[in-house]
Amino acid sequence: MKKLLALVVVIALVASTFWAVAVAFDRTEDEPAPSPSDPSDSTSATAEPTDSSAPSPELESFYSQELDWEECEGDLECATLTVPLDYADAEGETIEVALLKVPARGDRQGSLVVNPGGPGAPGTDYAAAASRVFREPLLRAFDIIGFDPRGTGESAPIDCLTDEQLDAYLASDPNPDTAAEEEAYAEIVQEFGQGCAERSGDAVNHVSTIEAARDMDVLRAALGESTLTYLGASYGTKLGATYAELFPDKVGRLVLDGAVDVSLDNRQLGIEQAAGFETALRSYIQNCIDTAETCFLGDSVDEGLATIDELLVQIEADPLPADDDRELQIGNAFYGIVTPLYNRDYWFLLSAALRSALDGSGTALMELADIYASRGPEGYTDNSSEAIFAINCLDDPSSVGFDEVDDELVADFEEASPTFGSIFAWSLTGCSGSQGTTTEAPIEIRAEGAAPILVVGTTRDPATPLKWAEALAEQLETGVLLRRDGDGHTAYNSGNECIDTAIESYLLEGDVPADPTDC
């Protein structure tokens, strides 16, 4: 899930945060990447014969379309896929889905479709970062295919707020504790939902996960693949599982890394995700104590949590100055703290940012918050903070009323997470302003008859707790569980050779590990 969205609004499940941090803060020189194979090699695939047959006659023209790949960024190739805006009216309006391909570097085996999570993160950016995200065995064997799911990136993007409004939204207090703060909170949540409807029109009704999964099957056919080979991270696991339910006979090899329990309601998802971030924060503080002669946060985990809590109280009362004449407000500070928790390798960034904040500067925490929100010096680089709201609220419009966030509800969340619990409790109100209405009926995900699906979880994953992967593997008829013992969000290419070998052997050779396998 790259994003929890605004923790303020609604739960998000994103892997893309950590690779965005990697790209932005990589302090080492890049090694020259091997040149892609000749384009002629890419077309002489060893993949199975094409199956472009459509599930219904009115979709035939979409399934039989040919992609017009053109060089777009160096050795990368771009194209667009045409799909119906509304699959219930396939002969009506259409939209274009943006695609990006990283050609295979060696003997091409086929196409690997990838999704980084969110929902809302552009998959084209994920594929463009393939040399950092994926290891050489996959880069050599597969064309890495990223797509911006409908409503995101360059695929009929959802728009809800101006940049100035979005700045204010992300800076606002995610944990209102006075009547005035609650009124301001309710106003900004309502403004967000109304803005999506006013600025995006009918598109806001057609960005559901089910519709994005239908788009993936059109993409599979257009790529010339008889079955889908896919690696989805975080929310991308929900997208992949949805695909498997809708098209079980088209499931080839699916890796669902950082899995989401698709059976949970928003309340239970929120409680368990809050607990995950609490575990990650405690692990970060314990690591500080274990590795530093004197941890700047304190001599115990409880002292460290108290130091961070006191800092946040101070920032809420008196925002810190940041570069470019900006102020680090309480909402920004929460995102700045959450972002490095996605990946243990970037805990050093959190330490640097907290030290700086304790010394009176909000610049470093603001930089981390900006990465989380995809905000650059000139404004937002994608619409992920808006798309996540529209997609999540269309998938599940249920919402707690603002007056229902009472002491009992907050207490339940704070039992799971003393640090983040109340924020997640308030996030249950996030879809109160949503005005989208889907034409897709809800589905129960079992994927009966599908080929084996690899479901991956990490013991101390802050955003998608291990129990979610365990549950999804049970829910899928052919789910196979792979568990990583470690910190951070998602498991692949995180330094665990056992995990990486198992995933690569499955994708490349079809070797299905024992269920479960612990690494």
Tokens of 401: 């009323």
List the Cα angle 334/340/341 in 5-degree steps. 85
**Among all chains, which residue has been given the structure tokens 């990223």?**
146
For residue 65, give every residue at least 6 positions away whose Cβ sits within 8 Å of its Cβ, in sequence order, or none.
81, 82, 218, 222
Active site residue 173: no
Active site residue 489: yes
Active site residue 206: no
Q: How many helices (H) and strands (E) does the chain have?
A: 20, 16
Given 16, 208, 234, 351, the catalytic residue = 234
Rounded Cα distance between 305 and 292, Å, is 17
Rounded Cα distance between 112 and 114, Å, is 6
Given 173, 215, 461, 487, the catalytic residue = 461
Residue type, position 123, single letter:
G
- DSSP codes joined into one string, 53-103: --SSGGGHHHHT-----EEEETTEEEEEEEEES-GGGTTS-EEEEEEEEE-
Closest CA to 171 of 319, 33, 382: 319
Tokens of 467: 């129990």
- Sign of the C-alpha dihedral, residues 278, 279, 280, 285? positive
Tokens of 33: 């990447």
Given 261, 384, 399, 489, the catalytic residue = 489
In the chain, the largest separation of any two C-alpha atoms, in whole Å, equals 69
Closest CA to 335 of 113, 3, 107, 1: 3
Helices (H), 318-420: 330-338, 347-358, 363-373, 384-395, 407-416
Annotated active-site positions, please?
Answer: 234, 461, 489
